[in-house]
Chain A
Amino acid sequence: MTAASLPQFPWLTLLVMLPLAGALLCLLHGNRTVESRWLALATSLAVFGVSLYLFFCHGDGGSGWLRYEDVSWIERYGIRYVLAMDGIALLMVLLTAFLQLAAILLAWRVEEKASYFFALLLLLESGLMGIFLAYDLILFYLFWEIALIPMFFLIAVWGGENRRRAALKFFLYTLAGSLCMLVAMITLYQIHGDQSGTYSFVIGDLLQTKLSSTQEVWLFAGFMAAFIVKSPLVPFHTWLTDALTEAPAAGSLDLTGLLIKTGIYGMIRLAFPLFPNASRDFLPILAVLALFGLFHAAWCAYNEDDIKRLLAYSSISHLGLVVLGLAAWQLTAWEGSILLMVTHGLTTGALFVLVALIRERTGTRSLQELGGLWGQAPYLSAMFLLFSLASLGLPGLANFAGEILVLLGVFQVHPVWAVIAFAGVVFAAAYMLRLVQGTIWGPAKVKRTLPDLTAREWLILLPMAILVVWLGLYPAPFIAPLHGTVAPLLLGGMP
């Protein structure tokens, strides 16, 4: 497929199709574990290379679409194959490619049906890339579901003890949300077609639809049902804790680092621009939900004994802040929110990696049974400490940059929200320090010699650690692409 509208190399298509091709090749390799492993690594490396290239091409941002690929697809129903990339998508693509690389390295030792595992990981990557790039509702929906299925199987086949149940809960919950979205999509298509005479699913066309306020509210609700469940906002979050806990390590990494970001990305890309008035009215409710989730999840995390569940709750709590930033509808807050999405993907992703490594070594995830790891595996513990500190928002590390921008932005519009949210900082410290206290400090409870980080594990964690410090001290390169994108979005338009 080549982009018809613009005579340039279809890099975006490559981003989506490369992992898909890799997945198919992995499947063809059947039970040859080693080949599929290297194949998956090569594919994700290539995807990462492409995304890096795009980042260097468009790192300075600039307004409008950075890339736009438009091909006719199912002409009869006005469905087109449109991939488009703006600054936000650029960051998300980069994050996806980076974390996927880490996920594949993390899954390196998976032996059971390994080629299927890698195929699913790559399929997931393809779906995620598609979600972040699609600019046609049907295409978006297609990728939205493509990303759902591999995750279902990753949990259901390679998961922990309650994997079936968790996978089913995940699947049904998110499917219920996305079906609401599908209905809303088709209704919107119909309304737009009746109005203008041209039936089209391309988002750019649908932006011009004139909706009565009742129509707008209902359609907005349909879209938000999918995004709120996916984000997930309390009280629709219980699938995430179960899924994250039961998923295999690489699956948890993808789930927390990327998949739940698609919900927020959907709000930014679809729900807010398509229904500006309804979303403006909904913002206070969104803020309340976000704040409620922020504290509720923090409290739950404080009470949790399983470190994976604790981290799952911390994810929900952090995303509360991200959503709060969006609800403020303010430039700085939005840029902070998007930056926080990226940094959260890094820090919490790395923490999930570390939890998996700890589980591999000690055989437990319970705070009751862990402790004193510093004496046994100092480098592992140091990494754990670093990412925990980043996660609790220590200045100079990644999350702080996003958090403070969100808070600075929110305070200018809604001081009370920001003040309440700031108190969450103490909550984050409370549960993260409890986590650190229970795992790496105290007397050593597992009386075995535990191996420290291996070369492969260094390879996963070191780039993440460097990025966490880099983003903490010099986030400018990652904010720059946002400048040209966020401002027009806030004014209600698209690039």
Chain B
Amino acid sequence: MSQTLLFLIPLLPLSCAVINMLFGMRLPRLIPETLAICGVLGAFLLTILFWGYAEGEGTRAVLGTWLSSGSVDVSFALCFDKLSAPMTLMVTGVATLIHFYAIGYMRDEVDYARFFSLLNLFVFAMLAIILADNLLILFLGWEGVGLCSYGLIGFWYRKRENAKAGTKAFLVTRVGDVFLGIALLWLFALTGTLSITEINAQAEMISPGIVTVLTLLLLVGACGKSAQLPLMTWLADAMAGPTPVSALIHAATMVTAGVYLLCRLFPLVSLSVFGMAAIAGVGAITALYAATCALAQREIKRVLAYSTMSQVGYMFMAVGAGTVSGAMFHLLTHAFFKAVLFMAAGWVIHLAGEENDIFRMGGLAKNGPKELFWIFLAAAVCLAGVPLTGGFFSKDGILLALFTEGTLLYKGYWLIGVFTALLTAFYTFRLVYLVFAGEPRGEGQPHAVPALMRWPLWPLAVLGLAGGLLNLPAMVGGGESLHQWYGKLAGRQVTASHDLEWLLIALATGIVAVGWLLAHLRYRSYREPLDNSVSRFLLAGWQADAVVDRLLVRPFAAMGRFCSAGCDRTLFDGTLEGLVKLSGRWSGLLLQLTTGRLTTYLSAFAWGFLIMLGWFLLKLVNGGGH
């Protein structure tokens, strides 16, 4: 009975969201804010409280039936096991801190009820994905996340671009959702169940060819939410939302959902060699693509957005290399430092007087609070992968897994990964230098920053720096605790000789050093940004938006015009009009008979009478003949 209480974890944020949605506007500001915090904080505390349920095989709880028809029987079921428990803890924990930050950040916002209820709903939807024991519940969360991102990215709806960015996020991720949905239908047709546990158990019975197709479908679905190629265009535009929303999307919710999905269905996914290679391939290409884009960005949040895309690419590579624990390890450390980076970026933007362009910032190390500089730097070194930080260990683990996979293809991925690491170090330090070094270049007036926007960053920064302890490799004296914790779910055990590991660590250190050195040489003293065709190309994200517009959006709209004007108005209604005209012409001919003149009618009557009479006479004569 008590495992049903596990439902409190997702339901707490949900109920707070609903209360805020219904009554938030009528309550004094403090109550919706408190409710929002309580929802996530409560979920966080409950996760700790129920931690024991995750031991062993984990716990499954069923609340009731959702859909039941024929062979379909879907219940509200959740699964609190070793994979979902740490993820839940991370999501609720990071989201709690982001909520505190959001209260500070949105203190002047009038429409606070909508904001906080959507924020809570976002966390609920993410928890539904994480805890779902059932693909349909997962799908509910999956679409729910899309909805909340839609509402939050377009939160400041009066600017049309913001609302457009929200719509874009919803639509692009929904394209991915369709593929996930098709995989869901297919899995149901194959296994007769939608339970994730049972599907994983039956995975080996499915023929390999179909598994490959299913894996690819799941991959595209994951790409949508995780902003991987080719469904990545929404993420950079998602910066239109308020900064806490960006932090939430990039750190705790949404973009990690795709990685989590692949980890959740790892027993199925890992059966397909081709599928795994495709996952890693998508990750590698996206990582590289996003890192190159980040090189040329001018807006602080867009740099971070592309860095997220790139880091999630690493996580995909980890899944593709067969190590779930490696992917989850990077997911966790990334969540910590990326949340810090975004929240610190919000702080920076406040200090720069709502200025987004890093080329018009500068000098914050000297003029800004020292606290901000150290926090931002702490998170930045994690992102860049400076040795001993959390980001270093998790990224290194992924590269090691890629290197030891064996095949040449994965060696290629490894090369891309290493090169991307170089780019990452470069653009991260470029960001740090442009924002903090030199003299102030902008004209904006700094805003005061409330305490609520400051202190939530500390614990996260510490977690980011010390995140390596979660899964410290044996070589440096750690116990690979995360890998051990996951047990059977952890995927492949990455084994390598210590010499090789040291070699790779040395290489990684060298790469970070080179990246830093390049950034140092280029940006130590301020220089105007390059403006050549390459940088413009990168700034526009390889013109991906233009390509999508040309290839998909415009043909879609043209098809709409064709169906509406061409088919409906011209063909279908035109045929009808033609019929109307035709019958009109016939009626015109018949109308000429009705002259309205009494005499005509009378003579017609007489003639008719005569004819009838004649006919009867004829019959009479013929009848008489017999």
Give the B-binding residues of A (Cβ under 8 A): 169, 235, 237-238, 241, 296, 299-300, 302-304, 330-332, 335-336, 372, 374-375, 378, 382, 389, 394-396, 401, 404-405, 407-409, 411-412, 415, 418-419, 422-423, 425-426, 429-430, 433-434, 437, 440-444, 473-476, 479, 482-483
Contacts and interface: CB of A to CB of B under 8 A. Distances in A.
Interface of B: 21, 25, 64-72, 136, 139-140, 143-144, 147, 150, 154, 157-160, 163-164, 167, 170-171, 174-175, 177-178, 181-182, 185-186, 188-189, 556-557, 559-565, 567-568, 571-573, 576
18 contacts: A238-B568, A331-B70, A332-B70, A332-B71, A394-B143, A404-B136, A411-B185, A422-B181, A429-B170, A430-B171, A430-B556, A437-B164, A437-B167, A473-B66, A474-B64, A474-B66, A475-B66, A483-B69
Contacts of B560: 299-300, 302-303
A394 to B, nearest CB: 6
Given A300-B560, A375-B158, 12 more contacts: A169-B576, A300-B563, A394-B144, A395-B144, A407-B185, A409-B69, A409-B72, A418-B182, A418-B185, A425-B177, A425-B178, A473-B66
A378 B114 CA distance: 10
Nearest to A378: B25
A199 to B, nearest CB: 35
Contacts of B571: 235
A394 B150 CA distance: 13
A372 B158 CA distance: 7
A219 to B, nearest CB: 25
A441 B136 contact: no
Given A372-B158, A374-B157, A378-B25, A425 B557 contact: no
A476 B72 CA distance: 12
Contacts of A476: 65, 67-68
A1 B182 CA distance: 53
B568 A433 contact: no
Nearest to A239: B576
Contacts of A235: 567, 571-572
A430 B559 CA distance: 13
A105 B559 CA distance: 39
Contacts of A482: 69
Nearest to B18: A469
Contacts of A404: 67, 136
Contacts of B64: 474
Given A296-B567, A302-B557, A405-B67, A411 B186 contact: yes
A429 B174 contact: yes
B178 A423 contact: yes
A483 B73 CA distance: 13
A482 B106 CA distance: 49
Contacts of A395: 136, 139-140, 143-144
Contacts of A378: 25
Contacts of B556: 299, 302, 430
A303 B560 CA distance: 5
Given A408-B72, A411-B188, A443-B158, A426 B175 contact: yes
B436 to A, nearest CB: 37
Contact of A408 (B140, B143, B188, B557): B188
Contacts of B139: 395
10 nearest A-B residue pairs (beta carbon): A303-B560, A441-B163, A395-B140, A299-B563, A411-B185, A331-B70, A441-B157, A303-B564, A332-B70, A302-B560
Contacts of A422: 178, 181-182, 185
A430 B555 CA distance: 14
Nearest to A423: B178
B136 A303 contact: no
Given A303-B557, A303-B564, A441-B163, A332 B185 contact: no
Contacts of B170: 429, 433
A300 to B, nearest CB: 4
B171 A433 contact: yes
A184 B139 CA distance: 46
A273 B59 CA distance: 48
Given A238-B568, A395-B136, A335 B158 contact: no
Q: Is the interface of A mostly helix, strand, loop or mixed?
A: helix
A426 B173 CA distance: 10
Contacts of A433: 150, 167, 170-171
A479 B69 contact: yes
B573 A408 contact: no
B563 A437 contact: no
Contacts of B167: 433-434, 437
A331 B186 contact: no
A401 B147 CA distance: 17
Contact of A372 (B25, B69, B157, B181): B157
A56 B408 CA distance: 67
Given A425-B177, A433-B167, A408 B185 contact: yes
A401 B72 CA distance: 12
A429 B185 CA distance: 20
A374 to B, nearest CB: 6
Nearest to B175: A426
B140 A296 contact: no
Contact of B154 (A303, A372, A429, A441): A441
Nearest to A429: B174
B143 A335 contact: no
A405 B72 contact: yes
A421 to B, nearest CB: 10
Given A332-B72, A395-B136, A475-B67, A412 B564 contact: no
B387 to A, nearest CB: 44
A465 to B, nearest CB: 11
A417 B567 CA distance: 23
A437 B189 contact: no
A425 B178 CA distance: 7
Given A303-B557, A441-B157, A419 B136 contact: no
A423 B171 CA distance: 12
Contacts of A299: 556, 559-560, 562-564
B171 A426 contact: yes
Residue among B25, B185, B565, B571 with the most chain A CB within 10 A?
A: B185
A443 B560 CA distance: 26
Contacts of B72: 332, 405, 408-409
B516 to A, nearest CB: 43
Nearest to B138: A395
Nearest to B113: A378
B77 to A, nearest CB: 14
B136 A336 contact: no
Residue among B154, B157, B557 with the most chain A CB within 10 A?
A: B157
A450 B185 CA distance: 45
Contacts of B568: 238, 241, 300
Contacts of B185: 407-408, 411, 415, 418-419, 422
A415 B571 CA distance: 31
Given A411-B188, A430-B556, A442-B163, A425 B561 contact: no
Given A415-B189, A441-B157, A442-B158, A425 B572 contact: no
A415 B68 contact: no
Nearest to B156: A441
A378 B567 CA distance: 38
Contacts of B171: 426, 429-430, 433
B573 to A, nearest CB: 5
A336 B181 CA distance: 16
A176 to B, nearest CB: 10
A223 B158 CA distance: 51
A300 B69 CA distance: 33
Contacts of B177: 425
B374 to A, nearest CB: 40
A407 B576 CA distance: 34
Contacts of B561: 303
Given A407-B181, A407-B185, A389 B147 contact: yes
Contacts of B66: 401, 473-475
A382 B20 CA distance: 13
